[in-house]
Structure 1
Amino acid sequence: MTIKEKQQELVDEFAFLGDWEDKYEYIIDLGKSLKPISDDKKTDENLIKGCQSKVWIDARFEDGKLFFDADSDGILPKGIMSMLVSIYSGHSTQEIMDSDFDFISEIGLQEFLSPSRANGLMAMTKQIKFYAVAYQLKK
């Protein structure tokens, strides 16, 4: 599945949910399915700056594709990271760099989040792009 297809699938899933309480619960449930990263990956280097909660993301490059692992000490950020990891993990650096984050607006997630959480979301998306650029340069 392409990144765009995964994004659309998530947009469609959110469209079936009624109000924001249902969407909030869905995000929390997604976070429960996120495999936690090991404690040795919970370093300052992997900590996303700008998030209200502690959010860690680690990336590895295998067979021309980037794979992400993430965790958070907050239930909502963990759910958001679960969405981002499921969409972007397993794709090439070029695919990630060429992608956008328009699906976030389509879901309406930014309007739902407080300003500080919206800033955290932007920090998460920037970090994914940063890893793609960094690994692209290493090639």
Structure 2
Amino acid sequence: MASAAFEEIVDTFAFLDDWEDRYRHVIEMGRDMPPLDDALKVPATKVEGCASQVWLVPDVTGETFTFQGDSDAMIVKGLIAILHALYAGQPVAEVHGIDAEAELARLGLNDHLSSQRSNGLRAMVDRIRNVTAR
């Protein structure tokens, strides 16, 4: 079950007819993300498999999952914002039940991201799933 924040993104994408407008929206979402403290940009938080520099800092203390993230590429930072809307605030036990591929397909991302970006997005989802595995 997607969060209300993710459903809002789905609705916005449905409203935006042109992929270039959607692309700009993703970049704006990335700009709205708070920057990650440089002290957290360490090898342990870096996501391997991404063409850009990507860091995810999960918070799995307690029963609710959230994370901070950052990238040196604005489109990727926007993708992090989308993943944040999809996963943040979800119960840790339910993170694995989220079909990220199907949810992201609702946005049409598969058709408009390069293979490198798609691989990076999968690597970010894999990291989220790995840190929430119990």
Structure 1, unaligned stretches of length 5 or more? none
Structure 2, unaligned stretches of length 5 or more? none
Larger relative helix fraction? 1
Residue 53 of structure 2 aligns with an amino acid whose one-letter code is K
* Range that drifts further, 21-30 or 97-106: 97-106
Residue 117 of structure 1 aligns with an amino acid whose one-letter code is R
Q: How does 1:1-139 map to 2 (within 5 A)?
A: 3-101=2-100, 102-133=102-133, 136=134
Aligned sequence identity (%): 33
Residue 114 of structure 1 aligns with an amino acid whose one-letter code is S
CA RMSD of aligned residues (A): 1.4
Separation (CA, whole Å) in 1 of partners of 2:98 and 2:3: 7
8 Å CA contact 1:55, 1:70 repeated in 2 = yes
What is the TM-score with the length of structure 1 in the denominator? Answer: 0.88
Aligned length: 133
Residue 122 of structure 2 aligns with an amino acid whose one-letter code is M
What is the TM-score with the length of structure 2 in the denominator? Answer: 0.91
Separation (CA, whole Å) in 1 of partners of 2:93 and 2:82: 20
8 Å CA contact 1:50, 1:119 repeated in 2 = yes
